[in-house]
Amino acid sequence: MSNGWFLVKYVDDVFRNEPINIGVVVTSGNEMGSHFLGQRPDGSINGQRINKRISGVETYKAWVRFIEKEAARGNLDARIESLSKRVGESYVIERRGPILDSVKSPQDIADELFVALVSAEVAQTQSLDNLADAAFKRLAFPAGRKIERDVDFKVKVRNVPQLVTFDYRYAAEQTILMDRVSFSRPGKPLAQSINDLLYRIEVTEEQQAISSFVALYSGADFSPQIEAQLRLLDRFAFTVDLNSERAQQDLSAILGVPVLA
């Protein structure tokens, strides 16, 4: 298998020839990594997460399977040659260059290239704030109970007063604090966002006697790195994917509030 990376494009209008980037494939030695639009961690495709310009979800899935299989066999260069001779083809594979990083795995490199070259072209999904509001509105809170926003707590770190803030609080038999976790916050690395939340959880738990926390996130843009951070978060808080069909049910179980009929 050759060493290099490939950019996969889709052309919805062959006459105008305005391709969009839809995926990245990286090969190195006997290893292969890839990341395509709408791809879940297990490699399957969520058709609701692909660009609306792509026609035919099943055709798209078939092309992703085909490209990954050919890459694993080491045949992608030959396929590029054969595809270049076909007129009017919507799917285009381009060899872009060698892999210079010998430390990271092909999958890690593919994930990074995907974020830089593909996910930036995807239309913005609903904000976490809007997704959280939609989920809360589906819950039947008891009279006098509500979700409070932007809740501050005074804590001390090395005897220096500080203020920590959580996005939401639900106070019933127990107090539950919730915070939105963005996996694509511009200018702020994912690990830094997670560590910031873990710090606030730790000091609040120790000094405010609160032990229930929820991390709200969107699984629309998922990668192995995000999955690793979620496993870390699971040790300190409940995690709820606001883009999941089970978001309301998960919040209902955590908060002890029924879902509206």
The predicted pLDDT at position 121 comes to: 52
For residue 261, being part of any structural domain is answered with no
For residue 117, being part of any structural domain is answered with yes
Q: Do 116 and 186 fall within a single domain?
A: no
Q: Do 175 and 219 fall within a single domain?
A: yes
For residue 57, being part of any structural domain is answered with yes
For residue 170, being part of any structural domain is answered with yes
> How many whole angstroms separate alpha carbon 235 and alpha carbon 217?
16
Choice among 27-31, 67-71, 120-124, 161-165 with the minimum mean pLDDT = 120-124
For residue 154, being part of any structural domain is answered with yes
What's the average model confidence in pLDDT over 220-234? 77
> How many whole angstroms separate alpha carbon 123 and alpha carbon 120?
8
Q: Do 56 and 146 fall within a single domain?
A: no
Q: State pLDDT tens for residues 84-139.
A: 667 567 898 999 988 887 788 999 999 999 988 987 555 444 678 889 999 999 99
Q: Do 58 and 133 fall within a single domain?
A: no
For residue 8, being part of any structural domain is answered with yes
* Domain final position from 121, 143, 158: 121
Q: Do 155 and 235 fall within a single domain?
A: yes
**pLDDT above 90 as % of the chain:** 48
Q: Do 17 and 74 fall within a single domain?
A: yes
How many distinct structural domains can be found in the chain?
2
The predicted pLDDT at position 43 comes to: 85
DSSP-derived 3-state class of residue 112: helix
Rounded to 5 degrees, what angle do the CA atoms 136, 137, 138 make?
90
* Domain final position from 121, 142, 162: 121
> How many whole angstroms separate alpha carbon 239 and alpha carbon 198?
13
DSSP-derived 3-state class of residue 48: helix
Q: How many CB atoms lie within 10 A of CB 96?
A: 13
The predicted pLDDT at position 253 comes to: 96
Q: Do 194 and 236 fall within a single domain?
A: yes
> How many whole angstroms separate alpha carbon 35 and alpha carbon 25?
7
Structure tokens at 33: 């990594």
User: What residue numbers bound the domain in which 49 lies?
Assistant: 4-121
Q: Do 151 and 187 fall within a single domain?
A: yes
> pLDDT category, 187, cuts 50, 70, 90?
very low
Which of 11, 229, 2, 17 minimizes the C-alpha distance to 111? 229
Q: State pLDDT tens for residues 43-97.
A: 888 776 777 678 888 899 999 999 999 999 888 888 887 776 675 678 989 999 8
For residue 166, being part of any structural domain is answered with yes
DSSP calls for 152-165 = EEEEEETTEEEEEE
Rounded to 5 degrees, what angle do the CA atoms 196, 201, 206 make?
130
Q: Do 138 and 195 fall within a single domain?
A: yes
Beta bridge partners of 125: none
* Domain final position from 68, 89, 121: 121
Task: Give the helix ranges, DSSP H, for the chain.
Answer: 57-73, 76-84, 106-117, 128-137, 190-208, 224-233, 247-255
Q: Is 223 exposed, middle or buried (0-12, 13-18, 19+ CB in 10 A)?
A: buried
In contact, 217 and 242? CB cutoff 8 Å? yes
In contact, 2 and 74? CB cutoff 8 Å? yes
In contact, 200 and 169? CB cutoff 8 Å? no
Does the reported pTM lie above 0.75? no
Residue 245 or residue 238, greater confidence: 238
Q: Do 142 and 232 fall within a single domain?
A: yes
The predicted pLDDT at position 214 comes to: 97
The predicted pLDDT at position 87 comes to: 58
What's the average model confidence in pLDDT over 11-24? 84
pLDDT of 186 above 50: no
For residue 260, being part of any structural domain is answered with no
Q: Do 134 and 108 fall within a single domain?
A: no
Q: Do 69 and 141 fall within a single domain?
A: no
Q: What is the CATH number of the domain that holds 177?
A: 3.40.1350.10
